[in-house]
Structure 1
Amino acid sequence: MNLQSGDPVSSTSSSPVSSLPANLKGRKVVLVNHSDSLGGAAVVSFRLLQALRKIGVDARMVVYTKTSDEANVADTGTRFFRGLAFIMERLGILPAVGFKYVNLYKVSTGDFALNIHRHPWVKEADIVCLNWINQGLMSLGGIRKLHRMGKKIVWTLHDMWAMTGICHHAYECENYVLECGHCPFLASPYSNDLSHRYWKKKHKLYQEVSIKYVTVSNWLEKLASKSSLLRDADVRTIHNAFPVDQFYTAPPRNLYSFLTPEKPNIILFGAARLDDPIKGLDYMIDALNYIFDNYPVLASKTAVYFFGAMKNPQALDQLRFSHRCFGLINDFKIIRYLCSISKVMVSSSLYETLGGTLIEGQAGGAIPVTFAPDGRADVVKHLQNGYVARYKDSRDLAEGILWALKSDITREELHQSVADRFSAPVIARRYAELFSEILAEDPSKN
């Protein structure tokens, strides 16, 4: 039976609070993230907040930049001091990266951060769950202050920053396995560079402060287990929460007429910024052009829909396929609709910590096709619920798209495959179990 409505599934008759672990009832949890809506980590952290509250956890969220009108989200510091902290940290990094803007936001130090220990919600909290805390929000010293206040700390890792000296993603560099230094993002070729100095600061902090680490994918957990900073730490994988029950596999009629499919087959590709080099748009275009040149009949029945911002709109000029680009879409209802009318969802990114668009695509019944040397391996099982192409191989990516266009996997099967693993209630329960475990380690909290 098709899921025809975007309405959430009905809740059970039992009270959410009654099913919480006993030692978590009445306890307060604060999530910390740079924003409540800007960026991937913000979206999933906000979803986690909502999911935790739905199962009865007394959770709130403190952010650097608040854009929603959610009563359980608050920002910290004044606008002036938030801006000052951000600018001062970037100015401190600028000389280290050789005044090259291209690397300026690939690293963070945490200096000049606002920190959150004075916020009343944090003072009341039993557990503080850190998420993406860079660019002016939290410093290493701020984490130490939370520990000294007696807070139980969980740190959900959305990238590699906690396990490296300063970078958010190490790419091919493996210096973090031993000790950071000779950082490829810095202008200095020396071992005792900025990355090594901050590696030492993190190493000292982790020796002094008890932290439970959560990675959003098994791939990220494996990287943590290799790293010199976290290989002996308590690290486990809990995926991001997705509102899977709000997706439908058959689009409602007469909705969003401007998005009406132009062809029988729709291929969907989305990102916050489509032409960010890390999203691998060139591989996608090469794969599609191969299909267009070699399978003209199939290509004539297929269109490609793109959504996301673009700095260079001409980046799609080389694509020979029929296509439309809708720009950045902030309306979740439209994303749901696009997933429900698409046959295939493609990710050609060079890396993803998990692969949210693939999960959302499957929730709407679209078959995922992707490279997966990373967190996307948790989402797509080759030739079962999608196609995993050889890394950076446009021809194999094309083969995956062809396979998906001809596949008879039902949309309901795809929806259920992510509902079982990534739905918000499932993930919220796993966090509740972790919070209960932390409190059980300290009898004074029981």
Structure 2
Amino acid sequence: MKVVILNTADAHGGAAIASWRLLHALVGEGVDARMLVVDRTTADPLVDVAGTAEQRRWAFLRERIGIFAANGLNRRDLFKVSTARYGVDVLSHPWLRSADVVCLNWINQGMLSLTDIGRLAAMGKRLVWTLHDMWCMTGICHHAYGCDGYERECGHCRFMRFPYGNDLSHRVWKRKKRIYDNADIHFVAVSGWLADCCRRSALLEGRAVSVIHNAMAVDSYSWQRTGNKDKKVVTMGAARLDDPVKGFGLLIEAANVIADSHPDCNIELQLFGSIRDESLLGQIRLPYRWVGAVAPEKVADLMAAGDVVVSSSHFETFGMTLAEGQAAGCLAVAFDHGGQSDIITHRRDGWLAAYPDADSLAEGILWAVSQSVDRKALHDSVAARFSYGAVARKYIDLFNELLRKE
């Protein structure tokens, strides 16, 4: 069995990291797997670049210019939407041409066009599309942010400066439907919540959707507590802490609820990730330590130095930092609003707070720091659910099922 994974990058962003981990999870189970990207930053011999730098540059620019023009020359939400109007020449790459199964992951911003997805299906390839956001089921947006337009046919898009019934979101929605109707694509959601969104989607309703979680190198996480054990350390991390989706303001509010109601709580926040507005940190009334952006391989050490991992995100398609924290023996606290509920069982291995209630999030943090935790049991639970082997075997079963249909 030959498998090729397509993703825009091999190291930058959550989808890239998840795709690279899936690649090595499959290889570890004996699959002949490769990965094609347009933004390669690793020296991994199992990863190659599709197309040319010039093709990617023009595909990216032409798509963004088209969105900019369709949106009345408004740049504000330029990167919250994609159209997949243009892409590089992926189809001629020998790895793809010899593949039995092609796994589409995050293929936007100049990687793969919708037209070429249709051509892939016409080549007789078995197509599996792993969803790392909501783009496959919406017209153009990567996250619906509470909008239910994707449950119909989009249009009147909140990301358009002049929304109307046949705006860019509706026109791309119709293009996607034509492609999907003529391509046998099996969709994979990385959480039950995302799968539920698929079933409500007018684009994906009635189509084949499975749930397979993201893979983790669980063995690289130690459940042994390190660092300052005199403090109860609560960790939050993200690529960018003040990304609006991450709900950093809600974490600040919850931290201040704790600081005001439990001034002797002995809690310290440990924060990692970039932040554009550093003045936000000055609003936190609990002791905190911000370490800035960190490389993915450093996350395990930070998690091992904590007792609790928290996410204040408005939603997560999966919630990898929560699983990483549990792999290091931390209880996890998050809102019950997204893929977080696939990771946390309320009051057993964490706390699912009422969304978007900062008081409930604070209550969860206080509950978590008060618990006596079997850190190894938390680690083992993550290994059983999200290890390379556990996830790869689910994909292999799916691939075999699809190949038997020939």
TM-score (norm 2): 0.98
- What amino acid sits opposite 1:431 in the alignment? Y
The alpha carbon displacement at 1:262 in A equals 7.9
The Cα offsets for residues 379-399 of structure 1, whole Å up to 9 and x where unpaired, read as: 111111101111011111111
The alpha carbon displacement at 1:132 in A equals 0.3
Which residue of the partner structure matches residue 248 of structure 1?
222
Which residue of the partner structure matches residue 347 of structure 2?
383
Q: Secondary structure at the match of 2:171?
A: helix
Percent identity over paired residues: 46
Report 1:274-285 matches (<5 A). 274-285=241-252
- What amino acid sits opposite 1:207 in the alignment? D
The question of whether the paired residues in 2 share the 8 Å contact of 1:262 and 1:303 is answered with: no
Cα distance in structure 2, aligned partners of 1:148 and 1:119: 16
Structure 1: gaps of 5 or more residues: 1-26, 253-259
Which residue of the partner structure matches residue 319 of structure 2?
355
Which residue of the partner structure matches residue 87 of structure 2?
113
Which residue of the partner structure matches residue 131 of structure 2?
157
Cα distance in structure 1, aligned partners of 2:402 and 2:13: 29
**Structure 1 pair 262–311 and aligned structure 2 pair: CA distance change class (3 A):** farther
The alpha carbon displacement at 1:302 in A equals 2.2
The Cα offsets for residues 396-421 of structure 1, whole Å up to 9 and x where unpaired, read as: 11110000000123111211221111
Out of 75, 84, 107, which is 2:58 matched to? 84
The Cα offsets for residues 203-259 of structure 1, whole Å up to 9 and x where unpaired, read as: 11111111111010011111111111111111110001011122111156xxxxxxx
The Cα offsets for residues 33-65 of structure 1, whole Å up to 9 and x where unpaired, read as: 010110000001000000000000000000010
Which residue of the partner structure matches residue 177 of structure 1?
151
The Cα offsets for residues 94-125 of structure 1, whole Å up to 9 and x where unpaired, read as: 12233333311111001121141011110111
The alpha carbon displacement at 1:82 in A equals 1.3
The alignment's C-alpha RMSD in Å is 1.2
Which residue of the partner structure matches residue 76 of structure 2?
102
Cα distance in structure 1, aligned partners of 2:111 and 2:388: 26
Report 1:34-433 matches (<5 A). 34-251=8-225, 260-261=227-228, 263-298=230-265, 301-332=266-297, 334-433=298-397
Q: Secondary structure at the match of 2:268?
A: strand
Cα distance in structure 2, aligned partners of 1:184 and 1:80: 32
Q: How many residues align?
A: 406
The question of whether the paired residues in 2 share the 8 Å contact of 1:263 and 1:303 is answered with: no
The Cα offsets for residues 276-303 of structure 1, whole Å up to 9 and x where unpaired, read as: 11111111111111111221211xx221
Cα distance in structure 2, aligned partners of 1:249 and 1:210: 43
- What amino acid sits opposite 1:306 in the alignment? L
Which residue of the partner structure matches residue 8 of structure 1?
none
Cα distance in structure 2, aligned partners of 1:198 and 1:433: 33
- Deviating above 4 A after TM superposition, structure 1's stretches of 4 or more consecutive aligned residues are none
- What amino acid sits opposite 2:73 in the alignment? F
Which entry has the higher C-alpha Rg, 1 or 2?
1
Cα distance in structure 2, aligned partners of 1:137 and 1:53: 24
- What amino acid sits opposite 1:406 in the alignment? S
TM-score (norm 1): 0.89
The question of whether the paired residues in 1 share the 8 Å contact of 2:232 and 2:268 is answered with: yes
